[in-house]
Amino acid sequence: MNMIMSDNHSENRSSSIGEVVVDTETLVAQTRNRVGRALNGQYKYDSSLKDSQDFLFNHINSKISLVIMYADLVGSTSMSMTLPVDKMVTIIRAFSYEMTSTVRSYGGYVLKYVGDAIIAFFPSSYNKLLACDKAVQCAESMITVIKNGINPLLNRYDYPELIVKIGIDEGENVIVQYGHDKISLIDILGYSMSITAKLTSLTDHNKITIGKDVYDVLHPEIKIKFTEAKHDIGSWNYSSRETGELYKLYTLRK
């Protein structure tokens, strides 16, 4: 069972992001129920992201610190070429909603769906330590939900199994609204968005890669699960915002 950590290591981790208590076993059970009903045509997913837009609306035209997470579905291009349209749509809907549900359970927000990926964020201005812990714990739960909640049901209905890769980094981001009316799309722009997208592309299947800014502040019980990732300069050439040196990445141990 994977629970959000109760941390006595630092007072800076004592305040929570939201009031949600997470139990991965419960998340898996809820996922099995929804996916099973969706595959039987008895459940329709709600894809509203109003909660994230409402949060960002209060920070338009400003810079705020966020932990950014990309969760990328592996092999979707191949699936789209080989699966019937209805099966492909079911898979994308199930993946998007169940990952969104897991992010919300850890106090995070999903910014948007980009094809076969979701982009999420965890506010970190008031508690970077806890936000980074929760983002990483959330990513671990997302992989577990896919392996134990979604894939067993997909196997039963002769669907291909899902594989994900997840990247996480933290930093200041600009909140931009593309129009002037309240319902115009609000987006996030920043260096950490670019870094997270790139490090996700370098991540192995069903693994998590994090930037040094996240790794450095993780609780020791979480940090020990990661090891430094080695990439050649051709595939990874992002610099640290503080030192100007090559920005280090860390990946979940096998």
pLDDT digits (tens, 9 = 90+) for 21-38: 568 899 999 999 999 988
Q: Decide: 246 and 240 in contact? Cβ < 8 Å.
A: yes
Bridge partners of 70? 119, 167
Name the residue type at position 111.
Answer: L
Contacts of residue 114, Cβ cutoff 8 Å, sequence gap at least 6: none
Q: Structural domains in the chain? A: 26-252 (3.30.70.1230)
In percent, the amount of the chain with pLDDT more than 70 equals 91
Q: Decide: 95 and 161 in contact? Cβ < 8 Å.
A: no
Instruction: Give me the helices (H) in the chain, please.
Output: 24-39, 50-57, 76-82, 85-105, 128-144, 151-156, 191-201, 212-215, 220-223
Residue 21, exposed/middle/buried by CB under 10 A (0-12, 13-18, 19+)? exposed
Mean of pLDDT values over 94-122? 94
For 46-95, what is each residue's pLDDT tens digit? 878 999 999 999 999 999 999 999 999 998 888 888 888 988 888 888 99
More confident residue, 21 or 239: 239
Instruction: Examine the pLDDT at 15 and tell me if it is beyond 70.
Output: no
Q: Report the C-alpha gap between 168 and 222 in whole angstroms.
A: 14
Mean of pLDDT values over 196-200? 95
Q: Report the C-alpha gap between 102 and 81 in whole angstroms.
A: 28
Question: How are beta strands 208-211 and 164-177 bridged, if at all?
Answer: parallel
Pick the closest to residue 68 from 103, 97, 96 (CA basis). Answer: 103
Bridge partners of 169? 68
Pick the closest to residue 17 from 130, 129, 103 (CA basis). Answer: 130
DSSP class of 42: -
pLDDT band at residue 6, thresholds of 50, 70 and 90?
Answer: very low
Q: What are the tokens at 59? A: 């920070």
pTM: 0.90
Longest dimension (CA), the chain: 54
- Rounded to 5 degrees, φ, ψ at 142 are -60, -45
